[in-house]
Amino acid sequence: MATSSRRRTDGPLRSTLVAIGLTIFGVVVAPNVTTLPAFFLDPALLDPSAEPSIAGRTALLSLNFVGMALAGVLYLVVTDRGWSYVDLRPPSKRGWAYVGAGIVGMIGFYLLVNIVVTALSLPSAENEVMQYIENDQTMVLIMIGIVFFFNAPAEEFLFRNIVQKRLYDGFSRPQAIVIASAIFALIHFVSYAVSSPSLLATAVPIVTVFGGALIFGTLYAKSENLLVPIAAHATFNGIQFGLLYLALEYDLEEAAPAGEAILAVVTSIPL
């Protein structure tokens, strides 16, 4: 990875516009193409009143993240950066320490958000993706696999190794982390707004996603290793879905206050 002292080849405006373009292509355009097979597999995905099959939902969610990864790959090909641009290698002991710190930091951050939301009685919208999961325990378990093999690798590759690293050309690393995190959070706006009763309810998870992105972006910048934020991201989301499964299996929502404490970290799963 290029160091922060490298000579910048782009100004801030160009770097930002490229980052926004990459994000739109990776989150909106490419997934619309890669998810097409899921709709052929299960046409019920097109009918809001129907109940899609587990196979259809699994294919849709997985292929959505394939689209994100494909956008990053196409960028490497078109710009002749090649695979050497991808910071992928086994983490060192220091790298694994960053992974652990990231997981702990994410849990602490989400618990803090839950405390603030509860104390202020703030409304919070649910991610649109959760409609494909709902209270289906089988889908919750499948989502753990999707998180580890599709979600975390694709999002971290596109938003950290491609978007954030591209922003290094026009900004300092701290600035690039903030800008990449803001872009990442704002691109989630629609997925939360769809089921949101108000702008405030949409803003709460967007701010939460922004904070989480700052943590993952910092892990990447500090370690210069893509596997570090991927491992932290996948493990954290895996814990969330694992707790969600337990909550459904044992009806922990009714077992306050212990159940509420366990469910606190599941309140807003970013995908």
The CA-based angle 245-196-134, given to 5 degrees, is 20
- Other CB atoms closer than 10 Å to residue 255's CB: what's the count? 14
Q: Which residue bears the tokens 């570090």? A: 228
Query: Which of these ranges, 43-52, 66-75, 226-235, 244-253, has the smallest mean pLDDT?
Result: 244-253
Q: pLDDT at residue 227 above 80?
A: yes
CA atoms of 27 and 209, how far apart (whole Å):
15
| In the chain, alpha helices (H) | 12-24, 30-34, 36-41, 54-78, 93-120, 137-146, 152-156, 165-167, 173-186, 189-193, 199-223, 227-250, 258-263
172 neighbors 4 (Cβ within 8 angstroms):
yes
At 171, the amino acid letter reads F
Higher pLDDT, 104 or 7: 104
CA atoms of 154 and 147, how far apart (whole Å):
9
Cis, bond preceding 257 (omega within 30 deg of 0): yes
> What pLDDT does residue 270 have?
56
Categorize the per-residue pLDDT at 66 as very low, low, confident or very high, splitting at 50, 70 and 90. Answer: very high
Domain residue ranges in the chain: 86-266
